[in-house]
Amino acid sequence: MSARAGRSRRRAPRGDCGWDRVAGWYDGWVGQRGSRYHRALAIPALLDLLRPQPGEAILDVGAGQGVLAPYLLGEGVRYTGVDASPRLISIARRRHGAGARFFVGDARELDRLPGVAGQRFDAAVFLLSVQDMDPLDAVLRSVASVCASEARIVLVMTHPAFRQPRHSGWGYDPSRKLAYRRADAYLSPMSVPMKSVAGCAPTRSHHRPIGGYINGLATVGFTVDAMTELPDLPGSQRRSSRRPSVQPDVPLGIPPGVPPTPAMGSQEIPLLLGLRAVRRAPPRLLNPRGPERSARHRVRPGEPRSAAERLTGVSTGPATR
Ligand SMILES: C[S@@+](CC[C@H](N)C(=O)[O-])C[C@H]1O[C@@H](n2cnc3c(N)ncnc32)[C@H](O)[C@@H]1O
């Protein structure tokens, strides 16, 4: 093999931000049906916001090894998963390939990805993945371009206001015997390297204030209409004795050494934030109630012709009915 060919084989896949290198570790943490955080918190929150309907085409952006696929397939949807990591996608295909479609691709360039470009998905979902992607505007523009004119986007992420990687944590105030959550930074977007895993270069988590998501979605025509905030698992269900040797970017809760108190933030301070945004087809101004109404409301000379014209008195162009 020539030196050049060797270099190109080693080159990271387009859009990959280090996840391909840690695929084995990540799959060990998530497992076949999802980590306990996936199963108890993130996946139920996503399904609740998404409300998938049988037959819908749903795109899972940053699908990883396809942990969400069996849950969505169980709802009768047509599932497509995209991820930048070839290794994670190959695990996904092996596990869930029957009935699901998986593609290696960059979430910022879905409009150029064979098998995805030109599709009109009813919904796109990001399960704990949007914070691993950057820049957000390119990702949202690309996702919106493969969604139907009426569609929804659901994002489930670690809560940007309370769980900023490396810029937030638990503290304890002995005078009040109170555990509290501290946030060192919030308003400034930042790209934060996560802990190195299995000797590999760290992946990065991209912090943005919540407004960055809401305004970013609005820019591509989607309006947030539902939001959910979820606390951490109750203490007994949290992984404490067998913490993984490396830290995933789903924070595992209150660190050892912080004394528990009844008002402990685990149930008051959210771990996850879920947002649902919808894009609705533009209202049909002409003939709003079908042919019956249009027959009864024949335009007479000088009479405003459309609903918009009736409301504003301004001509919106020649009538089409
Ligand atoms: C924390 S993992 C989440 C995976 C999966 N959704 C889950 O919950 O297990 C984040 C995923 O985002 C993917 N990712 C990051 N940037 C990407 C990009 N630009 N295009 C596609 N996938 C990307 C990574 O490869 C990784 O699999």
pLDDT digits (tens, 9 = 90+) for 181-239: 999 999 999 998 888 777 777 889 999 999 999 999 999 999 999 999 999 988 756 65
Q: Hey, what are 55's tokens?
A: 């037959």
Q: CA-CA distance, 178 to 199, in Å (whole number)?
A: 37
Same domain, 123 and 43: yes
Index of the ligand 1 atom closest to the CA of residue 35? 9
158 CB near ligand 1 (under 6 Å): no
Same domain, 247 and 316: no
- The CATH number of the domain where 115 resides is what? 3.40.50.150
Number of domains in the chain: 2
DSSP 259: P
User: pTM of the prediction?
Assistant: 0.81
Same domain, 197 and 135: yes
Same domain, 305 and 252: no
- For a ligand 1 pocket test, name from 129, 203, 247 the mutation site with the most ligand atoms within 8 angstroms of its C-beta: 129
Same domain, 209 and 299: no
6 occurs within a structural domain = no
Same domain, 292 and 269: no
Q: Is 225 helix (H, G, I), strand (E, B) or coil?
A: strand
For residue 158, the surrounding DSSP H or E stretch is: strand 147-158
Domain hosting residue 305, numbered range:
286-321
Centre of ligand 1 from the C-alpha of residue 298, in Å: 55
Higher-pLDDT residue of 140 and 283 is 140
Same domain, 264 and 190: yes
Of all protein residues, the one whose alpha carbon is nearest to atom 27 of ligand 1 is: 64
pLDDT digits (tens, 9 = 90+) for 243-252: 333 333 333 3
Q: CA-CA distance, 181 to 163, in Å (whole number)?
A: 9
What mean pLDDT do residues 252-273 have? 64
5 occurs within a structural domain = no
132 CB near ligand 1 (under 6 Å): yes
248 occurs within a structural domain = yes
Same domain, 85 and 233: yes
